[in-house]
């Protein structure tokens, strides 16, 4: 007999799946989220996982809502633990209101809620391997998702395994669905989430996919990468679609090769991307300086994770801002973009290719594990008009690769495209590209290269103000903290507080100073221990940020903790 609690839930819920690597958590997550999205529900998902192929204790959070949702919450409304370690692992997030659906036979003392014998039911259907599908069906039954949506997706998902497996999973899903349906309704687990038909036509993307699609829109036709969490998803997506899109995807022997191949590809007229994490980028730094001296366009996707060294390789942090800002020996300009939404990731990555091509500078797309591994539904992304515009020239007989110009940008030739000789040199060079030790030429070349910073400032993307223009408290965020801060301020409902989000963190847009000076108090939210962005703001504007909310334990900010911290600061200021 299943005991049914009387638990009314609002128009959004947080479902968490927990288990060890290899238990099928990812498959359950994939089926649940895609069925829900196709049925018209707003869905957000993110995960936290240990750095091991099997074992450990991992979890996935899936938020289902009647309205758009795209931020991590600490709250667990429904928990499905697949093993006895899942409950202790998540106990700091479990409350008296959490509904636990699990197998008491497996969980033992960790069985805290409703006993549903997933494995026994699966065996009755025909195979214990269907147990996770029973659990998926139970969640969908609780939400009253139309059953044909589950059947259609299971048929598609398991098609390559044969009709017997498809039929078995559909039968298992139906058994679970019936249980979930029996638990739902007034006086039971009453969930009031309404689907929106428009959601079915939207994209359902991860951060990694949004960056990859932006690269494609930007004309990327070469990627050199060595797999490194959490950057690998971008490389994988581009490699999967390489043949159909005319992309050369090269899994290199190390990151040094990836950087050098990308520089060579730009030299030959391609648009190249390198995708890596902090430790991999550390190996690329000499190549970055080579690009600075070559004045080669370059796009670097740097997905942050906690360091130093291997650190926490599957967790999140925003601690590589200074690495991207100062990496490389010598002085040369660069730009750093930091998307906080899927739409920003698409547009900014596309923009990175054009900006790098126009200014002949390295451009970074700075993300982190939380952003890369999170996903949600989003409106269809705008496609670029007319495709990418290339900024190289046809050379003539008197061509000078490093011609001194007022803007600092010299005409960029491509070998074989025109009559001119295209000479590059990693040593200091004259206008034709030949090595020189002339002090006068050296100074002229340094000045020429640094003049491009004015172009980068002119092309910089302004920060986005979210909330009232008549703010007293200004909350500064960058990168992946866009949605957590935005939702926290919405929960607080403070009319005199707003968020200023920076999709470009360097160079700062000229409007930054005016925004900061207008605020009575400023607060920065960062996933690092030393407030790196606040330090950059102080360096470039002279303005100190009054308060700092920092987190560096490897987890992203949850909405609840930001609500608590910001409420205190806003209350103290009023």
User: Cα(45)–Cα(441) distance, rounded to whole angstroms?
Assistant: 55
Which has the higher per-residue pLDDT, 482 or 2?
Answer: 482
The pLDDT value given to residue 1 = 39
Percent of the chain with pLDDT over 90: 90
Residue span(s) of the chain under CATH 3.40.50.970 come to 205-378
What pLDDT sits at residue 380?
87
Residue 328 backbone class (left: φ over 0; alpha: ψ -120 to 50; beta: rest): left
For residues 25-39, one letter each, b for 16 or more C-beta atoms within 10 angstroms of the residue's C-beta and e for the rest, the string is bbebbbbbbbbbbbb
Helix axes 147-157, 131-142, angle to 10 degrees: 150
Rounded to an integer, the average pLDDT of 295-314 is 97
Percent of the chain with pLDDT over 70: 98
At 3 the pLDDT is 52
Which H or E run includes 358?
helix 342-359
Which residue shows structure tokens 């007229």?
Answer: 269
- Reduce the secondary structure of 164-199 to three states and give it as a string: HHHHHHHHHHHHHHHHHHHHECCCCEEECCCCCHHH
pLDDT-derived band at 187, boundaries 50, 70, 90: confident
What does the pLDDT read at residue 9?
65
Predicted local confidence at residue 443, as pLDDT:
98
Q: What is the mean pLDDT of residues 107-124?
A: 87
Whole-number average pLDDT of the chain: 95
Q: Look at the domain 7-201 and name its fold.
A: Pyruvate-ferredoxin Oxidoreductase; domain 3 (3.40.920)
Enter the CATH code of domain 464-573: 3.40.50.920
The tens digit of pLDDT for each residue in 407-444 reads: 999 999 999 999 999 999 999 999 999 999 999 999 99
Rounded CA separation 51/277 (Å): 15
Q: Is the pLDDT of residue 574 over 80?
A: no
- Residue 8: pLDDT over 80: no
- Planar angle of CA 215, 383, 365, nearest 5 degrees: 30
For 346-377, the pLDDT digits (tens) are: 999 999 999 999 999 999 999 999 999 999 99
Domain with CATH 3.40.50.920 in the chain: 464-573
Check the CA dihedral 263-264-266-267 and report its sign. positive
Q: Look at residue 52 in the predicted model and tell me its pLDDT.
A: 85
| Residue count of the chain | 574
Cα 342 to Cα 212, 246, 568, distances in angstroms: 11, 24, 30
pLDDT at 21 over 80: yes
pLDDT tier for residue 481 given thresholds of 50, 70 and 90: very high
Query: CATH homologous superfamily for 205-378?
Result: Thiamin diphosphate (ThDP)-binding fold, Pyr/PP domains (3.40.50.970)
């Amino acid at each position: 007999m299943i005991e049914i609690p009387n638990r009314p839930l609002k128009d959004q819920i947080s479902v968490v799946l927990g288990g060890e690597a290899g238990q099928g958590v990812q498959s359950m997550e994939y089926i649940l989220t895609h069925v829900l999205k196709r049925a018209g529900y707003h869905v957000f998902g993110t995960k936290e996982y240990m750095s091991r192929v099997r074992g450990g204790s991992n979890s996935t959070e899936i938020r289902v809502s009647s309205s758009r949702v795209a931020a991590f919450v600490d709250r667990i409304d429904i928990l499905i633990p697949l093993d006895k370690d899942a409950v202790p692992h998540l106990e700091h997030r479990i409350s008296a209101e959490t509904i636990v659906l699990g197998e008491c036979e497996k969980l033992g003392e960790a069985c805290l809620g409703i006993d549903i014998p997933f494995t026994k039911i699966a065996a009755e259907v025909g195979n214990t391997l269907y147990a996770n599908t029973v659990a998926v069906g139970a969640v969908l039954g609780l939400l009253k998702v139309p059953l044909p949506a589950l059947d259609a997706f299971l048929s598609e998902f398991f098609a390559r395994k044969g009709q017997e497996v498809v039929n078995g999973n559909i039968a298992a899903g139906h058994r679970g669905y019936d249980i979930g349906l029996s638990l739902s309704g007034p006086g039971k687990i009453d969930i009031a989430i309404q689907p929106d038909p428009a959601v079915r036509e939207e994209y359902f993307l991860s951060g990694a996919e949004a960056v990859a699609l932006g690269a494609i829109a930007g004309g990327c036709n070469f990627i050199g990468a060595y797999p490194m969490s959490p950057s690998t998803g971008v490389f994988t997506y581009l490699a999967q679609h390489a043949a159909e899109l005319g992309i050369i995807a090269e899994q290199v022997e190390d990151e040094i090769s990836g950087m050098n191949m990308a520089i060579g590809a730009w030299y030959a007229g391609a648009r190249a991307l390198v995708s890596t994490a902090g430790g991999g980028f550390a190996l690329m730094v000499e190549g970055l300086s080579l690009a600075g001296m070559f004045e080669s366009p370059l796009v670097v996707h740097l997905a942050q994770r906690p360091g130093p060294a291997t650190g926490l390789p599957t967790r999140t942090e925003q601690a590589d801002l200074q690495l991207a800002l100062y990496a490389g020996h010598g002085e040369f300009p660069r730009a750093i973009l930091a998307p906080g939404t899927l739409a920003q990731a698409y547009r900014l990555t596309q923009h990175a290719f054009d900006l790098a091509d126009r200014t002949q500078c390295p451009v970074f797309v700075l993300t982190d594990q939380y952003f890369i591994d999170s996903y949600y539904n989003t409106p269809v992304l705008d496609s670029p008009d007319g495709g990418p515009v290339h900024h190289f020239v046809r050379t003539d007989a008197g061509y000078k690769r490093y011609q001194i110009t007022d803007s600092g940008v010299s005409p960029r030739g491509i070998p074989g495209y025109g009559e001119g000789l295209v000479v590059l040199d990693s040593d200091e060079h004259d206008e034709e590209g030949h090595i020189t030790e002339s002090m006068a030429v050296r100074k002229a070349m340094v000045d020429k290269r640094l003049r491009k910073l004015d172009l980068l400032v002119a092309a910089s993307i302004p920060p986005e103000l979210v909330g009232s223009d008549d703010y007293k408290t200004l909350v500064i965020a960058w990168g992946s903290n866009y949605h957590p801060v935005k939702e926290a301020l919405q929960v607080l409902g403070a009319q005199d507080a707003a968020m200023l989000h920076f999709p470009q963190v360097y160079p700062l847009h000229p409007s930054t100073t005016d925004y900061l000076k207008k605020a009575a108090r400023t607060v920065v939210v960062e996933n690092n221990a030393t407030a790196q962005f606040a330090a950059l703001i102080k360096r470039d504007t002279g303005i100190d940020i009054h308060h700092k909310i920092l987190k560096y334990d490897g987890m992203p900010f949850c909405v609840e903790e930001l609500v608590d911290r910001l409420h205190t600061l806003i209350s103290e200021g009023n």
